[in-house]
Structure 1
């Protein structure tokens, strides 16, 4: 167990593709020390299940022979059998063997091996090998979609393809076109630092934490906070290894360039000619994206701000004011609306500093401690950023201030009104394309902190937002879990993102979090609201709510899957899409399977135990 508050520093970007840039070295050390000093779990424990966990329908002799063959293809140093103790690590040093934020038991979703291709050709070789041996493979870019499953394969015993370790080149930055071409292992940190090194007048759009893969986040339809915040909408051109090992380029990339090179419009125009196929490779298991074009934002003037609102019941009125501001594009970015409890959490202090009782922190205790924080005793905090020249920004802020003044007690604050440690200062960076680590601070809320995201899409209307909010509030109270809501707001829809924080050493907290997740999925779907993204263990439930027309969408997805991947080797079960080989054979999770797994019953069929 941890007895020291000093740990080895995080890896540096200069020596590791997934490391931290020098500008964040000290912050990284402080962040790591805070998180790991609260750890009560041992770094690793003895594994109880068969080691390594074998792929389905494969015995140990067959597995060993297949792995030996793969080592001959890639080189022995690029194939690692997962037979070592499982270590959760932390955000900057996470495993590629399992889910660092395991909601079931740590061993329930583990790989049999991890492989590290260095070229597109080697990815194709791995796919052909998997088809030959009928071994499922699970590609990851960098594995930092923590809260949604991390690096864990949905089918235990799959071979994880870690694309990031050796395929992490920025292949091109076109300053005139404001675009780039990337491999999967390029992080937001790496792309930002390269743009700065070249002194280009361009911004990247980063999510809350900057260590993830630019390609991976876009393919999973993640979001950021500049006007380019819809990441998949701002990609342009994919190169994909299909489940049979063939290579595909989409969009203008399908047109050969002069003398065998890339054509000059691949990163300029998305659809090209014919059906627009890019979308089927996002949130799917239809191919492995090995290269992606991305649009960058020309740099501009900017001004971040926050607006506070005094009462919890102001919530629907706030949403009603946001909608026309967003639709008329007066709001400059994808803003956030957060509850004041997150003002406590982003101080990086544990919950026990504010409340040592049982159950969720009471509202009056939140109010008491918020009173001593910079924004004071408020209920909702709106974080926004405006763009352009000084005069236009001033006009925009006047319009926004006037609109929100309709809510009694609303107050606008600028970064200069708040201390350097306040969360708004990190939003200044994120909303101007500078990746940071600040968002990790709320992981200090409980020891051994992990989290799940519940992420429904809600129309930007007060009455709709209130329906979902009331469901979420009631169920969090029912299961005794603190509620951390963040709404990423656009003109027609909001991502209502709930961060379920739990102690991963506590089976009881895991169980309550899993039941809470399951009931929120069901209740919001019954009202007509569905999630845009979810943890791999809840993918079947979420996919099952999109059942209009006798499950027409899933039947369409399964048709594509079976046509492209007849052997069912590529990421079976990802986002609820199962190939014929696995379909209806005990792998789907549609009920209490996650809670049952906490009693040692495992996930899916267990022929190897």
Structure 2
């Protein structure tokens, strides 16, 4: 096999010279992960094209290229790129905006036809009006780093990706008095953290496990972080939106000319429309306001281990009142102990070379040599403020946690400074890190996908979810990387399904496992809160109370706001009228193609 294109690039992009780059303080970690991934890769980084440029259905080839020439004239040739080269998978720091690098179908299924890079709100409007004129589907992205859910790949093959992040990446405001900020789509968690530190402001950001993604994009997808401000959508205030017909408006107090409260009061007057643009295809969000956390001065992270799988039920029931009462202060995590083994970046074959999921006795044997010892669950938490306040709460937490037989508090002083605990400590204190990517070395050509159902924070529910996921993973021979993320009153079960993306059998197994888990959970009353683009139809169909009243409502909104159906058709299972009834939806049975049978002819389409 020709392996000449396997090695990852020698250099890594660095912020601020590269808006999407890594801060200088994390370069060594990035180089380490890049080199690990390179050594563990047997699949070439590029895939030759077999089907040519992906022309969207409903548009002829000649029409498409004439339209692209027109758009190049409007935005400049440098800002419009045809996707006609071999598909470059890249990696987290150099991710593609052409296709899904972690695709479970053929790599040319959800592939774009071109990418456009607007540099202003006015240019976004230009792109939207162009798409309406030519009836070409567009797929807006902020930065495209949500790799576990499809990355920058459009749901409709041949869509033009509107990459907002490359040229719209300004931090428009940071107010240290109100503890707020206003950012464009291309501002990453890394970038905002570095700018706050540079200015010396005493405020914290809240960040997810990896900090390279867009703050705006993560918030619109209702992502979470791990400080008390971990509900990102819950702490946003104010959107600027370009509608599918080209109009631009601002939500909340932003609708008042000369307002001075856009980032401090989210509601404004009249119906609150912000939610229409979260996990939807109703508009392009070009600005978002966020609350920042005042620096508490001090914080203290802690970790407990629990021995048995079934300890989960009692543990969750202990956590619920502590979390609701804010004794447990942050969006904390209960992680399965396989993560303690894998987070060091080692390969699965170093621990087990047998078939099927790694047996628990094998896992426990390896855990014996770690600082945590034998255990099944690991709780990571952080408390904030002066020592006497922290200690009061930590004493309550310790007393309650020790009600679980065999519970053990791990002394942080016993852990080396490169232990994963300290990465969790940094993230829980608002400092973006770069440890989470280590899991991908578990298998060659590592890819991952998120499975994310929601339940009440109740022990029986958590145990039921765990067993659903475990049974399906074992059925398909997949090791399970799982964490329970405790919100306030709800529990997210986040499963990272990891597989070798160069193995067709493993890709098929992952597809089946995901679809079965979605169905199993829905039958038991648990719905996913976000999912990969290829499962969005199936997940949307599970929210079918009263004969699918929610989807009918969403379709009415879609047709009213996007009469030509050009804005991200199919995103979150919402299809415009032109696509309905043409077989675009992918149900729980799955299939080998992402496409439907064309689109309905335009009837009275709006020309803008």
TM-score using structure 1 length: 0.96
- Give the match for residue 10 of structure 1: 12
Point out where structure 2 has 5 or more consecutive residues left out of the alignment. 600-608
Any idea what SS the aligned residue of 1:356 has? Answer: coil
Q: Deviations over 1:157-194 (max 9, x none)?
A: 00000000000000011111110110000000000000
Q: Tell me the distance in 2 between the aligned counterparts of 1:467 and 1:43.
A: 39
Taking the aligned partners of 1:9 and 1:415, their CA distance within structure 2 comes to: 34
Cα distance, 1:9 vs. partner?
2.1
1:20–1:189 contact (8 Å) kept in structure 2: yes
User: RMSD across aligned C-alpha pairs, in angstroms?
Assistant: 1.2
2:603 matched residue in structure 1: none
Q: Aligned partners of 2:80 and 2:204: how far apart in 1?
A: 37
Say if 2:326 is the partner of 1:329.
yes
- Which of 27, 31, 34 aligns to 1:32? It is 34
**Counterpart for residue 228 of structure 2:** 227
Tell me the alpha carbon deviations over residues 482-533 of structure 1, each in whole angstroms, 9 at most, x when there is no partner. 1111000134210001110010001100100000000000111001110000
**Partner of residue 246, structure 2:** 245
> 1:453 corresponds to which residue?
450
In the alignment, the residues of structure 2 paired with residue 320 and residue 602 of structure 1 have an alpha-carbon distance, to the nearest angstrom, of: 42
* Structure 2 residue 292 is the aligned partner of structure 1 residue 290: no
Secondary structure class of the residue paired with 2:139: strand
| In 2: Cα distance, 1:26 partner to 1:405 partner | 39
1:7: Cα distance to partner? Answer: 4.2
Q: Equivalents in 1 of 2:594, 2:268: separation in Å? A: 46
- Counterpart CA distance in 2 for 1:386 and 1:10 is 35
Contact 2:6 2:42 in 1 (8 A): no
**Counterpart residue number, 2:605:** none
Which residue does the alignment assign to 1:260? none
CA contact (8 A) 1:322 1:491 kept: no
Q: What per-residue deviation string (whole Å, max 9, x for no partner) do you get for residues 331-378 of structure 1?
A: 010110011111111111010110011111111100000110111111
Report the 3-state secondary structure (helix = DSSP H, G, I; strand = E; otherwise coil) of the residue aligned with 2:148: coil
1:459-470 paired onto structure 2 within 5 Å? 459-470=456-467
Which stretch shifts more, 20-29 or 247-256?
20-29
| 1:404 and 2:401 are equivalent in the alignment | yes
**1:606 CA drift (Å):** 7.2
Rounded to whole Å, the distance in 2 between the matches of 1:327 and 1:6 is: 45
C-alpha distance in 2, partners of 1:284/1:573?
9
Matches within 5 A, 1:164-313: 164-257=165-258, 263-300=259-296, 301-313=298-310
Gaps of 5+ in 1: 258-262
Count the aligned residue pairs.
596
Distance 1:605 1:5 in 2: 39
1:2 shift after superposition: 5.8
Q: Per-residue displacement from partner, 1:95-119 (whole Å, max 9, x unpaired)?
A: 0000111111111110000000000
Q: Could you tell me whether the CA contact under 8 Å between 1:2 and 1:40 is conserved in 2?
A: no
CA contact (8 A) 2:565 2:578 kept: yes
After TM superposition, the structure 1 = structure 2 runs for residues 121-132 of structure 1, keeping only pairs within 5 Å, are: 121-132=122-133
Contact 2:5 2:44 (C-alpha < 8 Å) held by counterparts = no
Partner residue, 2:158? 157
Matched, 1:473 2:470: yes
Aligned to 1:368: 365
Q: Which residue matches 1:87?
A: 88
For 2:412 and 2:287, the matched residues in 1 are separated by 38
Alignment CA distance shift 1:313-1:151 (3 Å): same
SS at match of 1:173: strand
Query: Where in structure 2 are the equivalents of 1:66-85 lying within 5 Å?
Result: 66-85=67-86
What's the CA shift string for 1:118-143, capped at 9, x where partnerless?
Answer: 00000000000000000000000000
Of 243-252 and 10-19, more deviation after overlay is shown by 10-19
Deviations 1:5-45 (A, max 9, x none): 77412111122110011111111111111112211011212
1:527 aligns with 2:524: yes
410-419 vs 274-283, greater mean Cα deviation: 410-419
- Cα distance, 1:603 vs structure 2: 3.6
The answer on 1:568 being equivalent to 2:565 is: yes
**Residues 4/109 of structure 1: CA separation in 2 closer, same or farther (3 Å cut):** closer
Is 1:591 matched up with 2:588? yes
Match in the other structure for 1:605: 597
Kindly state the Cα deviation for residue 592 of structure 1 after the two structures are TM-superposed.
Answer: 3.1
Whole-Å separation in 1 of the counterparts to 2:445 and 2:301:
33
SS for the counterpart of 1:147 is helix
Candidates 328, 346, 358, aligned match of 1:349 = 346
Partner of 1:539: 536
Q: List aligned pairs for 1:499-538, cutoff 5 A.
A: 499-538=496-535
Task: State the secondary structure of the residue aligned to 1:103.
Answer: coil
Which digits, 9 at most, give the CA deviation of each residue in 1:248-290, with x for residues without a partner? 1000000000xxxxx2101110011111110111000000000
- Per the TM alignment, residue 409 of structure 1 is displaced from its structure 2 partner at its CA by 1.6
Alpha-carbon distance between aligned partners in 1 of 2:7 and 2:498, rounded to the nearest angstrom: 22
Report if the CA contact (8 A) 1:53-1:110 is conserved: yes
Find out whether 1:435 has 2:432 as its counterpart.
yes
Post-superposition shift, 1:448?
0.5
CA separation of 1:468 and 1:2: change in aligned 2, threshold 3 A: farther
Distance 2:362 2:199 in 1: 49
227-236 vs 11-20, which moves further: 11-20
In structure 2, the CA distance between the partners of 1:491 and 1:240, relative to structure 1 (3 Å rule), is: closer
Structure 2 length-normalised TM: 0.97
Alignment correspondent of 1:117 = 118
Q: Distance in 1 between matches of 2:411 and 2:108?
A: 47
> Deviation at 1:604?
3.0
Contact 1:324–1:491 (CA under 8 A) maintained in structure 2:
no
Using the alignment, how far apart are the partners of 1:131 and 1:33 within structure 2?
Answer: 45
